[in-house]
Amino acid sequence: MDASSDNDDAKQLKERWVKVAQRLRAELGEDLYTSWFTRMEPEGRYDDTIIVSVPTRFLRNWIQTHYLERLLKLANDELGSIDKVDIRVRPRGKPVVPGAANRGTVEHRPGETLGSSVQRSTPAVAAMATEARPKPPERGATLDHSMVFETFVVGRSNILAHAAAVRAADAEINAPGGFNPLYIHSQSGLGKSHLLNAVASHIRNSRPDRKVLYVTAERFMYQFKAALNAKDTLSFKDHFQGTDVLLIDDFQFLQGKAMQQEFCHTFNSLVDSKRQVVIAADLPPAQLDHIDARMRSRLAGGLVVDIEPPDLDLRREILKARITEVSRRDPTIFIDDDIVEFIAHRIQGGGRELEGALTRVIATQQLTRSQISVDMATVAIRDLVNPASTQRVKIDDILRIIGKHFNVPKADLLSPRRARSIVRPRQIGMYLAKTLTTRSLPEIGRRFGGRDHSTVLHAVRKIETMMQQDDKLAREIALLARLLEQP
């Protein structure tokens, strides 16, 4: 073979392998691709076999076990007539394509070891290998681009955490007056991850020159363990300690002495050099009993803020924001204020629970083709309601509220009288007792004047039917339910 032919073959291999790498990244996502494939390089081709190399035995074994079929398919698609991918370990300290100048193309034969005397390379091939190597993307978790500051609904329970996150996102390196570290804690689902995603997205959009890394504690541990197995902890340290802004989510899951020591080194390096660290966890630093006391002290040395469960006003605003977003995607969806009020009163959790309840109501309407009503919403979200909030409603409270609303004495509600002005409020009371309490039908009947369970069942079905036909009645009963559920 002449030199020009060798160069053509090398160039063709380079171009096609880049396409293989691009498809792998697209199919697997940045996280998996970064972890396993950025250091894989094409070494050559022999008939129907493509030879690739990785720096460690651990990487080779993992790729062979988990991704060999996918790699073979993509190589066959892009290179043509590939029946085998031969993954080999590069000798430590040697370049990707060992260079013996002016000896023809790389031509590995099955059974040969990389770096053996039969390897031949040209400077062009060596340059190809360097150029074809994809630039390693960041190892952090993939950002959720819907979680930005603009979509975070602010209320009394989270206003401090939101303001602190905005300050951290706008802070300059080495600037005085910042909050470093910023530690945000709350129950699950109240917006910690949203704020961390928002900080990362804001900095990447406004300051693309800064290196931002958002990662969960679980991902941090996984990558550290992989670095230990690959005997490559130096690159791990360089990667994490070389960031300008580090955001760690679910910090309470950081386990193990070695893991905590490594995080402590990373944390100290960043904070001491005035680079921003933002941490989110379910617990405040003082309650992280499994974390070293000195580390807890350093975490508490910055700004520690908590996010409380949303109050009723904030729950309303969260639901309205989600409804606006849903309606923008599907203009046929309309949810009136009565449903918002009902869900806001019944679901006591954060944005995640509220969004789940709203999704359940919309899905029920679309799948059953029924009209969205308070009654339908009651059935749709009944298993999402915290039992503790349901048990707080007592039948005595129902009798009191019903009597006051309809101006009917409690004695008449419990009596055998069958006047229409008494029967209707009594049936509504039985319906509310069935939907707002965990009492059985026989027990409800006994509490409503010693009536049979079949009478209660008839009343519940009667009111359900009437609510479907009478929107005014449905709203009236929803109002009574809200009055009963208010503390």
Contact 219, 165 (CB under 8 A): no
**Does the pLDDT of residue 138 top 60, yes or no?**
no
**Range of 57-71, 234-248, 304-318, 325-339 with top mean pLDDT:** 304-318
Say if residues 181 and 279 touch (Cβ distance below 8 Å).
yes
Angle, alpha carbons 270-274-279 (nearest 5°)? 55
**pLDDT score for 428:** 93
pLDDT in tens, 85-99: 888 887 754 444 433
Q: For the chain, give the longest Cα–Cα distance.
A: 109
Architecture of the CATH domain 312-385: Orthogonal Bundle (1.10)
Residue ranges per domain, the chain?
3-132, 149-307, 312-385, 389-485
Tell me which range, 119-123, 169-173, 354-358, is most confidently predicted by mean pLDDT: 354-358
Across 180-194, 228-242, 410-424, least confident range: 228-242
Alpha-carbon separation of residue 47 from 7, 40, 44, 108, 110 (angstroms): 18, 20, 10, 10, 10
Q: What is the pLDDT of residue 10?
A: 64
Burial of 228 (0-12, 13-18, 19+ CB in 10 A): middle
Spatial separation of the C-alpha atoms in residues 95 and 115, rounded to whole Å? 10
DSSP state of 172: P
Residue 424 clears pLDDT 90, i.e. is over it: yes
Distance CA 112, CA 115 (A): 9
Find residue 54's DSSP bridge partners.
89
Phi and psi torsions of 229, nearest 5°: -65, -35
What is the token pair recorded at 33?
Answer: 């691709």
Is pLDDT above 50 for 39? Answer: yes
Q: What is the rounded CA–CA span in Å between residue 183 and residue 185? A: 7
Per-residue model confidence as pLDDT tens digits over 235-258: 777 778 778 889 999 888 888 888
Tell me the average pLDDT across 414-440.
89
**What pLDDT sits at residue 310?**
87
Please report where in the chains the tokens 């690739």 appear, as a residue: 52
Contacts of 190 (CB under 8 A, 6+ apart): 157, 158, 307, 308, 309, 310, 350, 351
- CATH 3.40.50.300 describes domain 389-485: no
| Amino acid 197: pLDDT | 92
pLDDT at 362 over 80: yes
pLDDT at 188: 83
pTM listed for this prediction: 0.53
Which tokens is 411 given?
A: 């004695």
| 232: pLDDT strictly greater than 70 | yes
Q: State how far the Cα of 69 lies from the Cα of 10, in Å rounded to an integer.
A: 25
- Give the model's confidence band at 103: pLDDT under 50 very low, under 70 low, under 90 confident, else very high: very low
Asked if residue 204 has pLDDT above 60, the reply is: yes
Q: What is the mean pLDDT of residues 326-354?
A: 82
Q: Give mean pLDDT, residues 332-356.
A: 82
pLDDT at 327: 83
Q: Which tokens belong to 268?
A: 């100290």
Compute the mean pLDDT over every residue in the chain, rounded to the nearest whole number.
Answer: 79
> In the CATH scheme, what is the code of domain 3-132?
3.30.300.180
Judged by average pLDDT, the poorest of 99-103, 153-157, 197-201, 396-400 is 99-103
Separation CA 469–CA 467 (nearest Å): 5
How far apart CA 61 and CA 54 sit, in angstroms, is 10
Average pLDDT score over residue span 15-39:
81
**Does the pLDDT value for residue 105 go beyond 70?**
no
Report H helices in 351-452. Answer: 351-368, 374-380, 387-391, 395-406, 410-414, 420-436, 441-447
186 vs 111: which has the higher pLDDT: 186
What is the average pLDDT across 352-372?
84
Q: How confident is the model at residue 487 (pLDDT cuts 50, 70, 90)?
A: low
Which is more confidently placed, 115 or 357? 357
CA distances (Å), 197 to each of 8, 88, 159, in order? 45, 38, 17
Residues 334 and 336: their CA atoms lie apart, in Å, by 6
Per-residue pLDDT, 128: 39
Digit-coded pLDDT (tens) for 107-118: 444 444 443 333
Interatomic CA distance for residues 464 and 486, integer angstroms: 23
Decide yes or no: CATH 3.40.50.300 for domain 149-307.
Answer: yes
CA distance 462 to 77: 65
pLDDT at 174: 64
pLDDT tens-digit map of 61-93:
778 877 888 888 888 888 888 888 888 887 754
Kindly state the tokens that stand for 303. 């700004």
Strand 303-307 versus strand 182-186 pairing type: parallel
Residue 121 in this model has a pLDDT that exceeds 70 = no
In the numeric block, which tokens belong to residue 304? Answer: 């520690």
pLDDT value at residue 305: 92
Is the pLDDT reported for residue 130 higher than 50? no
Structure tokens at 209: 């020159």
State the residue for tokens 């704020």.
195
Work out the pLDDT band at 458, boundaries 50, 70, 90.
Answer: very high
Q: Please determine, for residue 426, whether its predicted confidence score (pLDDT) is greater than 90.
A: yes
